[in-house]
């Protein structure tokens, strides 16, 4: 397998197991060089349990970093984006896509901005529209239902049927995304999974549901998905592998009440490697 380099653009939450502190170890441990471009630095992630967090926007630094890479002709085999600091960073990422990617490089966009029907602190509908603009240029997007509904400006539903999910996915494709991986899709109380549209073909993979919420699992999922994809897996297989890995991470963390802020993904990286490479 060719040695590849990707660029991940998202924040650094110094404590909390999310964003770049998840993406960097997961993707690197699967044999892919992982370069980073931090969109912001936070003392912790934004979950209420941490209280008031610090936030430093790094937008003013990004252009000079990108210019340095352009000067040195540094290129990437994939671009993977997550939590962004503000609307202005969307244009910077589009610039990166247009100037710093190798031929046939993939752009994977996780529009990390909300869950459970609400946007994260600091985001609004204008930001969601800009995220939709970014997703329209992506090869693969990985939204949950909240993020999809805000980007599309359509009704968010906690209870839904297959037709609702199909309509969401279709609208995301019509918005411009080439392939869609909708995460956290549950059609019953016992299971959850991912609904994909790959080259126009729909597929649904489900697994048992663990009824707890842990921050950062979307980042664990997207990072495992990207690691799988960069190691030659197709989109549907990568979506399945990432779902199994994320489930395992939640399962081993669920009974530790002191670890309420994330999942112990580090302990299951060996399992992810088995899923990707075999035993």
Return the bridge partners of 204, or none: 195
Which parts of the chain have pLDDT scores under 70? 1
Task: Answer yes or no: are the C-beta atoms of 239 and 226 closer than 8 Å.
Answer: no
Q: What is the CATH number of the domain that holds 175?
A: 3.40.1190.20
Q: Please, which residues have CB within 8 angstroms of residue 180's CB and are 6 or more apart in sequence?
A: 140, 141, 143, 169, 172, 173, 195, 196, 197
Nearest-CA neighbor of 225 among 70, 76, 42, 22?
22
17: left (phi over 0), alpha (psi -120 to 50) or beta: left
- Exposure class string for 198-225: b at 16+ Cβ within 10 A, else e: beeeeeebbeebeeeebbbbbbbbbbbb
Q: Report the C-alpha gap between 193 and 140 in whole angstroms.
A: 17
DSSP state of 18: -
> Which structural domain, as residue segments, surrounds residue 72?
5-277
pLDDT of residue 121: 81
User: What φ, ψ does residue 30 adopt, rounded to 5°?
Assistant: -100, 20
> Tokens at residue 56, please?
């430093």
pLDDT of residue 146: 97
pLDDT of residue 213: 87
Helix, strand, or coil (residue 34): strand
pLDDT tens for each residue of 39-85: 999 999 988 889 999 999 999 999 999 999 999 999 999 999 999 98
Tell the residue number behind the tokens 């993939």, with chain if given: 106
> Tokens at residue 224, please?
């495992």
The helix (H) or strand (E) run that includes residue 224 is helix 217-230
- Global pTM value: 0.97
For the chain, what is the mean pLDDT? 96
> Total domain count for the chain?
1
């Amino acid at each position: 397998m060719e040695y590849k380099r990707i660029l991940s653009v998202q924040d650094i939450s110094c404590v909390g197991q999310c964003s770049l502190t998840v993406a960097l170890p997961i993707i690197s441990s699967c044999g892919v060089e992982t370069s980073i471009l931090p969109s912001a630095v936070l003392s912790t992630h934004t979950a209420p349990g941490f209280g008031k967090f610090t936030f430093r926007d790094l937008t003013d630094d990004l252009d000079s970093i990108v210019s340095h890479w352009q000067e040195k002709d540094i290129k990437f085999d994939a671009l993977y984006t997550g939590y962004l600091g503000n609307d202005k960073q969307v244009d910077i990422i589009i610039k990166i896509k247009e100037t710093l990617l190798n031929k046939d490089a993939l752009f994977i966009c996780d529009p990390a901005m909300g869950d459970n029907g609400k946007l994260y602190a600091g985001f609004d509908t204008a930001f969601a529209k800009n995220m939709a603009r970014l997703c329209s240029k992506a090869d693969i997007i990985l939204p949950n239902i909240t993020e999809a509904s805000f980007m599309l400006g359509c009704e968010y539903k906690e209870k839904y049927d297959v037709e609702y999910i199909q309509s969401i996915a279709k609208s995301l494709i019509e918005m411009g995304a080439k392939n869609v991986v909708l995460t956290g899709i549950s059609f019953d109380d016992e299971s959850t999974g991912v609904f994909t549209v790959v080259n126009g073909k729909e597929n649904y993979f489900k697994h048992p549901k663990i009824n707890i919420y842990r921050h950062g699992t979307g980042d664990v999922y997207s990072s495992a998905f990207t690691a799988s994809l960069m190691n030659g897996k197709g989109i549907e297989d990568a979506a399945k592998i990432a779902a199994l890995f994320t489930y395992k991470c939640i399962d081993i963390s669920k009974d530790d009440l002191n670890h309420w802020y994330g999942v112990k993904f580090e302990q299951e990286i060996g399992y992810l490697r088995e899923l990707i490479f075999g035993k």
